[in-house]
Structure 1
Amino acid sequence: MEATAKNSDYIVNKVVEKKLKNGLTVLFYPYDREDVVTVKLCVKVGSAYENEKQAGLTHLIEHMIFKGTETKKPEDIVGTIEALGGYMNAFTSFDYTCYYATGPAKILENSLDILSDVVFHPFFDPKELEREKEVVIEEMKMRLDNPHVVLWEEVMKASYQKYPYRRPIIGYEETVRSFKREDLLSFVNQFYTPENMVLSVIGKVNQDRLFALVDKYFTNLPKRTLKKVKFPKEPFTEKPRLVWVERPVKEGYFALTFPGASFKDEDAPILELLAEVLGGGESSRLYVRLKRDLNLVKTISMSAFTPAGPGLIEIFGTADPEKFKEVLSQLITELEEIKDFGVTEEELKKAKVKLLSDFVFDAETSEGLSSTLSAFQLNRGTYKDILWYKKKIDEATVEDLKEAAKKYFDFNKMVGGFLSEKRLFTEEYLKNLISVKKEKTIKSFSLENGLKVFIYPRKDLPTIGITLAFPGGLRFETPQTNGLFQALTLIWTRGTQKYSAEEINFKLESLGASIKGFSGRNTFGIKALSLSSNLEETLELFKEILLYPTFKPEECEKARPELISMLLMQEDSPISLAVTQFLKILFSDHPYGLNIAGDQRFYQSFNSEDLKQAYQRFVNPNKGVLTIVGDVDPFILKQKLETILKDWKPFSAPFSEEEEPKLPSQRFQKIKKETFQNQILLGFQTPGLTSKEKLVLEVLSSALSGQDGRLFRILRDERALAYSVTSFTVFYPKKSAFVLYIGCSPEKEEAAIAGFWEILEEISQNGLTQEEIERAKNRLLGKLKLGLQSNLSKAEDMAVNEVLNLGWDYSQKYETMLKSLKQEDIKNFIKTYLQKDKAVLFILGK
């Protein structure tokens, strides 16, 4: 960077500037690398200075300039330079036109002589003009065969409402054919004036000789009056626009633009940095995301068009047309992410090196240096603004780029252009895609080891919740291993190859973080809570616990009393004990009937090796889902995860899901226990959690339970049979359970059971009322929203739902799915599954 900066200063300091009396600006740079010279004469007039009828006139003049002067034939112009070992050429842009010669230093005088003559004394022979018109029209047709050019011109036309950049530089066939010699001469007389030009000479030439030659060839010039042009103010579009070119092509092409900045604006260097970060190469953000990660595009690039007038931000690429919708959606997501989180320091540093190093590389050739000096002189008014540009790049911060993204990535002003064999969507689709208001963008991807990752940025608080979940838990246990996952997840975080349990706890508490294992009926894993300021350290500990647990025998011994304590507390709670026994009957001889708290025989006998084997079998990345919710930058976090989890390899291991449970053979059981109340449970096997009936079951349970539910209202309020009465569900993949519960005095047992059947019979015959259903839906939604307030609860919800094949966004879709549920669905469910001959009754008590 220092070398680049020094070189930029060195360039500016070596330039010799001279202004002739007629207004011509001359820039000389003594180039010493080789015995060469580049002489460039630029006129500050391009296609933007034309009106509609003049479209293409500037470009045609550029062609005709070399076709002869009042004293020189065509072969005396380019041929003279080529005979000396050099070459001549020219180009037309929106804002200026340049004519130049480059070659050995000995072409200096001939170049000055010829450039002065062709620019100030062109002849524009009518016959040559007619021939050259045909050449230009052939050039137009050649461009029409280039899909990139065709799409670019259509997108420019849509991107600019008033500014003349909306017209192609080359013009139109009808306008070019209409031009006469007088039109060319008139235009030259209006704009080809010395004060409207810059002559740059970069070469190994003597300065005194150079300026003597400049005086010789550029002093006595024709008197011309410069025409002033007033450019319109560009409003840009106020709504998203779609451009579609239908062509019989093999490839699909796309281009997106946003209003940008002029090179005269202070934002121009910042936008060039932003474009470099996002689409400047194969390590750029868009290339990595859309090409490498998602394989949506074949090519993609981004650039900042910063001319003298209003500029654009441009994204170009190629992709299979059937992927256009996904490409568009992902591009919007990525740009929104930049607006929210900005770029990284590493990305900014890389972009700075690239842009500033261009000055170094340009300085290697006289032609490159000539282009740099001329561009700054024409667009900014002085070549010295190279230092302004360098300073802006040097001092740019990640916050500057983030603010620029917020300012310029305005999707209401976006133009989307596509070229393919046929149109695949409408402008309305584009508008709808942009107008969809998402709470926040979820970024999802898979690591090389198969681990699914979902990142949900929430920037309102500096906290982060992390959950890593796998299939497992009670449904993968047997009577002999009942409690395995409770033991595994308890001891998992109590010691690694690097740290003891005490050291882990100390580090976590010092960070204000936590990492715990969890185990349920269907899944297990580890979860973490961290402050965003300490995420890096928390992730390192998370990795250490995930990949290198030791399950030391002494930790197993310390944990054994804790695990057994869960069972003892269960024994002391009649409700917990009753639920456990009820499920044992409902799902007899099946893992679903095992005790979620485990089994004392297993807790007394398991050892370190049992846990290691379970870890090796079930902690497999290609079965896992990692969710991270909170104050994070998804792009940085993705890179971090790819680094810290690169050594976690997937493996093949026997992994078969549980069989579907059979219907229970035993329908009634009563266990005597000295309690003050009898615990009564009446329940049924119902479809599993991925079935369409899941929502019906939840609404039914919600309608019956709660203080406004039928069970409470009839059995408690009206009949005073109990204090506690409710219904609940237990979900498993293959089957679930729907249970009615009441705790009452032994003498009220018969009345309570009769009350259950009375309510079931009533809803079986008549269903639930619409009011009950709506109340039940509202209760479910309220409970869901209350349960997802914290980042950790959101992360756990997403991970578990994805592991269970419900989809990470199940909770987001839950309200919509609930709304589609009808009264008849519930009635049919009751008649199908809640029949007396399918019921199981369990009583615990006197």
Structure 2
Amino acid sequence: MKKKRWIHCLAILGLLVNLCVIVSFFFAFSQTAAISQNRPQPQRYVLDNGMTVILEEIHTAPVVALQVWVRAGSITEGEYSGSGISHYIEHMLFKGTEKRGVGEINREIRGLGGQINAYASFDRTVYHLIVPSEHFVSALDVLSDAVMNSAFDPEELKKEREVILREIDMGEDDPDRFLGHLFWPTVYREHPYRYPVIGYRTLFEQLTREDLLDYYSKMYCPNNVILVGVGDFDSEIVLSHIKKTFANFKRGSLPPVYIPSEPDQLGLRRVEKEFEVKQIYLLMGFRTVSIESKDMYPLDVLAIILGQGRSSRLFRKIREEKGLVNAISSWSYTPRYTGIFGIRATLDEVNKDRAIEEILKELDQFKGELVIEEELEKAKRKVVSEHIFSRETMKNRATDLASNELVVGDVNFSQTYIRQIQKVDREDIKRVANKYFYRDNLTITLLKPAIEKVAARPKISLKKPPLINKYELSNGMTLLVRENHTLPTVFMQAVFKGGLRFENEENNGIGEFTRRMLLKGTRNRTAQKIADGIESLGGAINTYGGNNSFGCSVSLLREDFDTGLEILTDVIMNPIFPSEEIERERRIILAQIKAQEDDIFDATFKLFKQTLFVRHPFKFQRIGLPQSIARITRADLIKHYNEFFTPNNMVLAIYGDVKASEVVGKVEKAFSNFESRPLPLIKIPQELKPTRIRVARKYMERKQAIIMLGFQGIDVKSEDRYTFEVMTSILSGGGSRLYQNIRGQLGLAYSVGSFSFIGLDDPGAYIFYIATAPEKVEIAKDALLEEIKKLTIRQVSNEELNRAKKNLIGTEMIHLETNQALAFQCVLDELYGLGYQNFEGYASGINKVTKEDIRKVATKYFELGSYTMVIVGPNM
């Protein structure tokens, strides 16, 4: 879930993840030609029963990803077309076999320290898991049993039918999903791509157990299945186990699947529908090609140039310069059959016609003019980088291999894709634009705000969100309630002060450990019952932990509010910290700590915090130290829980389709036995401001180096926080000052930027980062210091200032549109003493920032005689 920038714990995580993606490509792209030579080669086998097996040995981590791909999806359903029968079966395959009862499949994999899941799509149903490599044989037994021997228990069928019906309802209430269900059948009049994967309600409701068994027996046979294994194993040994495990999986006679061809589109198609939205949702597209066409490659590159990233044409011109849309992006979808080049946007209704007109003008420019070489190369790098990075994990590698096999019959197709992308030239872009971007080939669908009826309830201003009510309950708990009747959904978020800032070297990680245990069992429910109790309703329950707080959330449909509140209350008030679950979670945490040590980005940030923060707990990692996690006992966890989980340390938000008057009474009753307790008196060491330059280096055998350079920063209540936000927007992101000067002009980095790490009652840090080649570290460091110096002596430009403000305010408005985002924002602001209405002053605070404010803040905080810098990488 997202949070405002000064709630730093989550923001930093996102920044580092993005940094990881970007920098991984820095060296990967320059060595694309060597990828196919250096990486382990996958092996493809066809068993005697016709099942395709693909194995790839990767020994970088002791894990294995196993996936079973069945060539069955919404386009292969034949007489059941439009019913969602493939999706229904996907739901049922983990519901038990003759050997394993209901819930045992998930429990067994979790017990192995693994994860298991499934999904259905147009042309596939996929069952995937990942486990420690030592448990490969057990995991294979579980997965094969589920695929070959599903019981389709009648009672479980009824339960799952209700779950899917709720899922259909939620899709019909969600504007993005609804728009997709409008768009696809408008583009495809004959091809089964027009059917929703989940099915139409009327056809789904007609499905019987006999229908499922019939479809299952026809489609789930080995000659229609691909099994993929990627990870830390010996292929010969694994293949032997696979042959033995699937020995009784008998070849079947596959039914012929008729896929009607889509007739040519002869004219513009446009469909508009009213929906309960406050802005226009636009989805438009042109029919293009299948994956077999060589036009796919320039279309993929064109999609990047047009509408992916802050430097794309649509973002810069339609969103930023002309202000016609709130969000916009483009994409190219090239499946086995005719694909689509699409554009998605959200915008104010008043801009509808002009926005579409300007989008089409941008498309027409590709038809008349060649793209500039820099633009082309940047897009090609982005395509290749995303493709490479998507295969970094065992799971993603397995997915890539299976998809290649299923769609084109070549497990190494990704190598072909990368080579072909790099061959795309400017003439190719112009050619495909002229070939496909004409009006008779265009489909436009959009959702628009519903017109108020005369007898409708009183209008709610679109400029101001529904009222938020604050209540102080008798036990000291603060309750925030927001009535929002747009959709029949409810989101509940409970937060408590706590987290990293209350820890020390002896118990570091106890906050993270404690919050993870909340869902591991209560006096009334096992961990499985907690999960099933929410997920059977189509809802979700999660916990989170941060530097200054932690908490638990539940999201579900309105009609299930009472059940959701009961489970949330049980989780918060009655955790029992089962010993076996503690040990299982301890193993997972220790493994995750170990994994962090191997990641250059985690290592750099960890070293930076240790170097800047000498006394304050911010020098630690939220996940803990190996030695502290190893010695935390059940008694320690219970003590920590009792100290921080009290109603007088808690804010609860309930936002959605509820009545405030009813919610207050229900919450008061639910938490009536939750008694206040004095909060622990913990003296947090105060960090002194650095008085000299601090430098630390760490050796890691990598092909790039990471520099983080920063200064002591601000706390959440600082009057300078809005100035920091505007400054960060100016400095970071595509087209930003650092991006243009250090990456664009000097060519010193693929990734460069800055972010603010903000404390609660303690100063945090402001950090600049750059990923560069090892031989350019000193030059890159000097360039970074020069950019910092400029901030202190010269004002930013009017253009930079205005663009940053517009971006921040627009992004915030879009971000807070959902109950979940706004609830999380309000509870943390209330918990941290800013007040739950703090978000209402965000735009005003941003707009008050001046150019001189930015210069003064830079001068105040960025003292070049006392910065902290860390460098992590190979010998330099």
Q: Which has the larger radius of gyration?
A: 1
TM-score (norm. length: structure 1): 0.48
TM-score (norm. length: structure 2): 0.46
Structure with the bigger RCO (C-alpha within 8 Å, sep 6+) is: 2
